[in-house]
Amino acid sequence: MSFEFNFLIKRIIFALFCSVFAISPCLAIEEIDETEKNSLGEIKLEVPEKHPFKELIFENQDVTLAQKILQPKSKYWNLVDETGHEFESGLVKNFKIGAYVRMDNEMVVKKDGYAYDRVNFNSVELTTETLLRDDKTKLNVSYNFVRNLDYDNHFFQKFSNLYVDHNFTKNQSVRVGNARVPVGIEGGLSSSKIMLINRGQVYKKFADARSFGIRNIGKYKYAEYDIGWYDSSRFMNKMFQGSEFAGNLAVKPLAKFDGKYGDLKLGTSIDVGDASFANNYSVYTAYAQYKKDKFYWDFEYAHADGAGGKYINDTDGQGFFTTVAYKVTPKIELLGRYDFYKDFNKSDPSQEFTAGINFYNNPHCKLVLNYVYKMAEKSSSDSHKIYIGTRFNTNSLFGDFD
């Protein structure tokens, strides 16, 4: 097999340059010159003890500058900061606005010598979060300008989120509106939170979807659940022509030790539905997830009799993947994954081996490098893929981006 080594190296260098350029707004935190520092003034601010990104922001940073990053003086910058903009009176108490950009350069060489190189803009998304005066009700609106699906309603399909959350207690909430259907762990995560460039094969085929519905979410020390009824449409297309039930239940057997032996989550989920414009579908999953200090491991299995992904279809198959990750430093993370998928209508499975590095420039920005070796079915050929991508999020605490 000819790998075209020189061509590949040139493309890697070019893509790396483009990716670094793409995240340059994040690098500005470390590149502020002395004049800009002085222009901020000597404002003494108290830094929240439990701020989730306090360690990362303070690492190798000027303390006074880091305080201003955590609690900026300008009310306009607050709009895109974790604190948001506070209103002294009226129905709205707090308002935040943010942007999420996800892009990658994909380079592929197949066994038969076929090769291509392309840049993918997966998400260019604007999101807002509005907290009402009762401190319990939030409105989340997220719009992905570059989502391109073969649907009739091109305007509404670009909404990632359009929902209202109401917290009855600290453990119980109800969500009404359009959001990602919670199937398994990775199937229910937004692309801003998945560890590798792509989802596991089972979730790309079975569960990469958003739907309109009402759900009850419960989070407790020893267990959590997410149960809801949905419209079986996808991305608000052909609505109210069928119904869907999705439930996700997990237990946390090590919770009583308060992290001494790590955090273990064991769970299962089900997604079943019918639609007049498509066949019935059902997806069943089982999963395990373990975290301790710098180490992470997961295993997810899914079986589908008809799939409820971006497009509802009659795919029958099953598969699993397992991921291992280790934080070498606070900014560098190494990852590996084995991913197996079997379509019941084909004789051979599809297997993928992935190795990756994540570089967290700061809490808002991540640079991703993935190498994927795919052992394809006999009808196709093996392939080598290299992805160099970046994810830039102006507000890391927002919920589900696309």
Residue 377: CB atoms within 10 Å: 16
Residue 348 in any domain: the answer is yes
**What end-to-end distance do the CA atoms of the chain give, in Å?**
37
Q: Number of C-alpha atoms within 13 angstroms, CB side, residue 378?
A: 3
- Segments forming the whole domain that contains residue 259: 5-31+74-393
- Alpha carbons 180 and 190: distance in angstroms, whole number: 8
In a domain, 134, yes or no: yes
Q: Are 219 and 254 in contact (CB under 8 A)?
A: no
How does residue 72 score in pLDDT terms, banded at 50, 70 and 90? very low
Q: What is the dihedral of CA 366, 164, 90, 93, to 10 degrees?
A: -30
85: helix, coil or strand? strand
- Tell me whether residue 36 is in a domain: no
Q: Which comes out higher in pLDDT, residue 117 or 8?
A: 117
- Going 20 to 23 to 24 to 30, the CA torsion angle's sign is negative
Q: Which of 155, 164, 129, 159 minimizes the C-alpha distance to 143?
A: 159
Which is more confidently placed, 135 or 111?
135
Span 40-54, mean pLDDT? 46
At 8 the pLDDT is 53
State what percent of residues in the chain have pLDDT above 70: 76
**Domain holding 21: CATH number?**
2.40.160.10
Residue 40 lies in a domain: no
Q: 394 to each of 48, 96, 101, 141, 162, how far by Cα in Å? A: 19, 10, 9, 15, 19
- List, in sequence order, every residue forming a beta bridge with 73; answer none if it has no partner: none
Number of domains making up the chain: 1
In the block, tokens 């997220």 appear at 142
Average pLDDT taken over every residue of the chain: 81
At 152, which amino acid appears?
A: D
pLDDT value, residue 69: 47
Cα distance between residue 157 and residue 54, in whole Å = 37
Q: Which helix (H) or strand (E) holds 6?
A: helix 5-22
pTM (2 d.p.): 0.77
The verdict on residue 50 lying in a domain is no
Answer whether residue 37 shows pLDDT above 70: no
Q: Of the given ranges (102-116, 128-142, 154-168), which has the lowest mean pLDDT?
A: 102-116
Mean pLDDT of 17-33: 42
Give the model confidence (pLDDT) of 348-397 as tens digits: 899 999 999 999 887 778 899 999 999 876 666 788 999 999 888 775 44
CA 163, distance to chain mean position in Å, is: 18
28: nearest Cα among 349, 303, 272, 365: 365
Q: Is residue 218 part of a domain?
A: yes
| Residue 85 one-letter amino acid | H
Residue 366 Cα distances to 87, 181, 311, 319, angstroms? 32, 25, 30, 28
Structure tokens at 259: 């992290």
Alpha-carbon gap, residue 51 to 65, rounded angstroms: 16
Quote the DSSP letter at residue 47.
P
User: Highest mean pLDDT: which of 46-50, 62-66, 294-298?
Assistant: 294-298
For CA atoms 129, 130, 135, 138, give the dihedral sign.
negative
Whether 25 shows a pLDDT value over 60: the answer reads: no
Are the C-beta atoms of residues 334 and 364 closer than 8 Å to each other? no
Instruction: Tell whether 203 is covered by a domain.
Output: yes
Q: Residue 23: is its pLDDT beyond 60?
A: no
- CA-atom Rg of the chain in angstroms: 22
Q: Which range has the worst mean pLDDT, 81-90, 129-138, 292-301?
A: 81-90
**Residue 191's pLDDT band (boundaries 50, 70, 90)?**
confident
DSSP 3-state assignment of 17? Answer: helix
Q: In terms of Cα–Cα distance, which of 227, 328, 339 is closest to 272? A: 227
Between these two residues, 164 and 315, which has the higher pLDDT value?
164
- In order of 110, 261, 289, 290, 318, the CA distances from 352 in angstroms are 14, 31, 20, 22, 15
DSSP secondary structure letter of residue 59? T
How much is the average pLDDT of 85-102?
Answer: 90
User: Could you tell me if residue 382 is inside a domain?
Assistant: yes
CA–CA gap between residue 386 and residue 165 (Å, rounded): 39
- Rounded Cα gap, residues 326 and 335, in angstroms: 7
The contacts of residue 5 (CB under 8 Å, 6+ apart) are none
